[in-house]
Amino acid sequence: MRAMVFEGTSPRLELRNVPTPAPGPSEVLIKVEACGVCRTDLHVVDGDLKEPKLPLIPGHEVVGRIERIGDDVSGLEHGQRVGVPWLGQTCGGCRYCRSGNENLCDTPRFTGYTINGGYAEYCTADAQFVFSLPAELDAVSQAPLLCAGLIGYRSYKLCGDVRVLGIFGFGAAAHILCQVARHQGVAVYAFTRDGDHPAQTFARDLGAAWAGASSDPSPEPLDAAIIFAPVGALVPTALKAVRKGGRVVCGGIHMSDIPSFPYADLWEERSILSVANLTRADGEEFFPLAKKAAVRTETVSYPLERANQALDDLRSGRLQGAAVLVP
């Protein structure tokens, strides 16, 4: 099969012909229809996330059809459409798994990082960690939901009860979450890079009540803010924008260093919280909600062999919405 492979020697992927993997007893083999390009993939190939499996096939927003089923798998069928997320496997026995916090598992495995992912024509996945997806919907449009959607949703849940939400960084995750929040009657304020008027227009088109630069003052105090941009300097900025008792949620797996800030900006029971991974329960809640909210994803498709171009476009901020590879 064809696959885009990361060798770890440079931030580039190589198109290779590699053997099609065989599913283990508890796995399924999936013929990939589409695979989203996530900022986490950038963090892997740019070296921000250390110790990936090498050589590695990245990609953890996988949509495809089941081609083969392992001997111990039940409840899945040949030809069924499924999605493969970032969380690829957990131990099931540590204190976090036992308490419903499998996203914090002590010995997890991650799709496209410690397990080969979906930048390929086929991939395998643990059958217990795939989501059933609608067969009638377009595969490309569903791919960003597998991480941008799921992590955005988990970040949103951690905000608590909000009526006014600030989102810093309006990319793949934000454009999905904005639609979910608006469906629930939440006012969304979108903060983008200075001068990024297309992103601000995009946010308003999706229902944001206001959109402006991250350096602009918020029109009103925020109940919570989510930071999707991997920019640590936005943490003090967001803290100043939230009301007393407000929360700042850092929604990325990697962020540049957070600069020092006065304690007064944190006082009055404001808080900062990070998001780690996702749980299968998040998916069970999110996918029906996305359907009810009629979420539409903005995507740019690339053939598999142009994965480096997709990563470059994401890295440089040229994308509106989400990049998706199509084998």
Q: Identify the pLDDT of residue 94.
A: 98
Task: Say yes or no: 175 and 140 in one domain.
Answer: no
In this structure, are 137 and 154 located in the same domain?
Answer: no
Are residues 106 and 191 part of one domain? Answer: no
Do 180 and 224 belong together in one domain?
A: yes
CB 98 within 8 A of CB 106: no
What is the rounded CA–CA span in Å between residue 143 and residue 97?
26
Which two structure tokens, joined as six digits, stand for 149? 């959607």
DSSP element (H, E) containing 246: strand 242-250
pLDDT of residue 5: 98
139 contacts: CB under 8 Å, gap ≥ 6: 33, 34, 63, 64, 81
Same domain, 50 and 99: yes
| Residue in the block written with tokens 């996530």 | 38
Identify whether 287 is part of a domain: no
Please check whether residues 9 and 137 belong to one and the same domain: yes
Same domain, 112 and 184: no
Q: Is residue 175 located within the same domain as residue 119?
A: no
pLDDT tens sequence across 47-57: 999 999 999 99
- Name the domain count of the chain: 2
Statement to judge: residues 258 and 138 lie in one domain: no
What pLDDT score does 319 carry? Answer: 87
Helix ranges restricted to H, 108-191: 139-142, 148-157, 172-183
pLDDT computed for residue 317 by the predictor: 87
The reply to whether 283 falls in a domain is no
Q: Which parts of the chain sit beneath pLDDT 70?
A: none
Q: What is the pTM of this model?
A: 0.95
CATH number of the domain within which 211 lies: 3.40.50.720
Do residue 19 and residue 112 come from a single domain?
yes
Q: Within this chain, do residues 216 and 97 fall inside the same structural domain, yes or no? A: no
Pair 161, 90 in one domain: no
CATH of the domain at 50: 3.90.180.10
DSSP 7-66: -SSSS-EEEEE-PPPPP-TTEEEEEEEEEEE-HHHHHHHTTSS----SSB-----EEEEE
Output the CA–CA distances (angstroms, integers) from residue 98 to 94, 103, 151, 282, 326, in the order listed.
Answer: 6, 11, 21, 16, 37
Given this model, what pLDDT does residue 19 score?
A: 98
Q: Is residue 224 part of a domain?
A: yes
Which residues constitute the domain of residue 209? 150-274
Is position 288 within any domain? no
